Structure 1
Amino acid sequence: MPRNSRLALAVASGLAATALVAACGSSGSSPTGQPSNPPASSAPAAPSSPSTGTPSTPNSGKPALMTTTTTSLGTVVTDGNGFTLYRFDKDTASPSMSNCTGTCASTWPPALAGGDTSQLKGIDSKLVSTVTRSDGSKQLTLNGWPLYRYGADSKPGDTKGQGVMGIWFAATPTGGKATAASQPASPSTGGGGYGY
């Protein structure tokens, strides 16, 4: 192959790789910051945990679900890393179904089932199950309600997702909604909310 042809092929390959990387890094939001609607035919990629870039699954050796007590909400459910788990009012518990996909699932990563969902602390195992998401992954449920993390919760114990859009609530050990005397204003809690 002539040298000029090899050089042209190398440049074209580099441009194609750059375009592919740029497309994968797309945020899925429009320039206004509002969520864009993903094509109905495409299944969303497995969501990532906001701080680690890995699926929102419990660490091995730690309980898959556990409880913690907060000063503002009382006892709430967390994942094995101590991050608060939430439920979404637009989901259904009977039958279990998640309605948070695409951009919503980027802001609210589903709590995916790890290898051993029997690892529980402070939660009745009869209330814990999974639901199959549209991408085929298994999401943890509590009393039928799919569970999620909130992308704006930057450290264990944060509860910034409580009351967002009036439809996202920290989960209680029975799968109910945690309540507080005063909840944060929904749109101003950061991360856009994506109430869908």
Structure 2
Amino acid sequence: MSKHIGATLSALALAVVVSGCAGGSGTTTTASPPPPSGPSATVAPASSAPMTSAPDASGPTAPGGAADLKTASTSGGQAVVDSKGMSVYVFTKDTKGAGTSACTGSCAAAWPPVLTDSAAPAAEGVTARLGTITTPDGKKQLTIGGMPVYHFAKDRAPGDIAGQGVGGVWYLVDPAGDMIKPAAVGGY
């Protein structure tokens, strides 16, 4: 019996190590989570299924029982926000479906990735395909329609959109996964 338990624990430990090392730069194109058999980014359909993991102390994530993302009316339009109501942005220098983020180093300090602990991210009111990519430090960054999403460090309260249009490369994202670009002022 002791041998059986030891073998089971060894197999379980190996499975944990292998799954913990899964990362990489590819993305899956299916609507359901892929089997945990190799390095890839995961993709999940938008749903209202609750997230069951605890928040990550290094960045905003959904508390147990809440959706990772939802929609809210902002002064920039109907936009995607995190579970706490903080605005979510896309970076035009990212490549859709690349499985990596172009925002690293000091960029990532000003624009922290929106993180999740869930293998199947959930959203309320978001119709775009959700997924994750692996950050350089091994965390799961949410993606919407294949684009990594970020917070803006200068947004302090739910509904803040101080990052909207910054540098002509940072934009809020709508529930369909499209960038929300500000309307031209004065008809130009």
Taking structure 2 as the reference length, the TM-score comes to 0.63
- The Cα RMSD (Å) is 2.1
Q: Using the TM superposition, give the Cα deviation of residue 67 of structure 1 relative to its aligned residue in structure 2, in angstroms.
A: 0.3
The residue that corresponds to 1:166 in the other structure is 168
Tell me if the contact between 2:165 and 2:182 (Cα under 8 Å) persists in the aligned partners: no
Q: Does 1:120 align with 2:123?
A: yes
C-alpha change, 1:79 and 1:142, in structure 2 (3 Å) is same
Q: Using the TM superposition, give the Cα deviation of residue 101 of structure 1 relative to its aligned residue in structure 2, in angstroms.
A: 1.2
Deviates more, 1:83-92 or 1:106-115: 106-115
The residue that corresponds to 1:131 in the other structure is 133
Q: For the residues of structure 1 that align with 2:141 and 2:121, how far apart are their CA atoms?
A: 14
Tell me if the contact between 2:113 and 2:151 (Cα under 8 Å) persists in the aligned partners: yes
- For residues 74-153 of structure 1, the aligned pairs below 5 Å read 74-115=77-118, 117-124=120-127, 127-153=129-155
Q: For the residues of structure 2 that align with 1:109 and 1:182, how far apart are their CA atoms?
A: 28
Q: What's the CA shift string for 1:5-43, capped at 9, x where partnerless? A: xxxxxxxxxxxxxxxxxxxxxxxxxxxxxxxxxxxxxxx
Q: What's the CA shift string for 1:124-169, capped at 9, x where partnerless? A: 3x60000112222111000001000000000000000000000000
Which AA in structure 1 matches 2:76?
L
Deviates more, 1:87-96 or 1:136-145: 87-96
Which AA in structure 1 matches 2:99?
S
The residue that corresponds to 2:76 in the other structure is 73
Tell me if the contact between 1:87 and 1:171 (Cα under 8 Å) persists in the aligned partners: yes
C-alpha change, 1:74 and 1:135, in structure 2 (3 Å) is same
Structure with greater Cα Rg: 1
Indicate the percent of aligned positions where both proteins have the same amino acid: 39
Q: For the residues of structure 2 that align with 1:154 and 1:84, how far apart are their CA atoms?
A: 10
Tell me if the contact between 2:121 and 2:142 (Cα under 8 Å) persists in the aligned partners: no
Tell me if the contact between 1:62 and 1:81 (Cα under 8 Å) persists in the aligned partners: no
Which AA in structure 2 matches 1:180?
P
Taking structure 1 as the reference length, the TM-score comes to 0.61
For structure 1, the residue ranges without an aligned partner over 5 or more in a row are: 1-52, 184-196
Q: For the residues of structure 1 that align with 2:165 and 2:76, how far apart are their CA atoms?
A: 11
Q: For the residues of structure 2 that align with 1:92 and 1:113, how far apart are their CA atoms?
A: 21
Tell me if the contact between 1:98 and 1:146 (Cα under 8 Å) persists in the aligned partners: yes
Q: What's the CA shift string for 1:53-82, capped at 9, x where partnerless? A: 742212222210100112x32110000010
Which AA in structure 2 matches 1:94?
G
C-alpha change, 1:182 and 1:131, in structure 2 (3 Å) is same
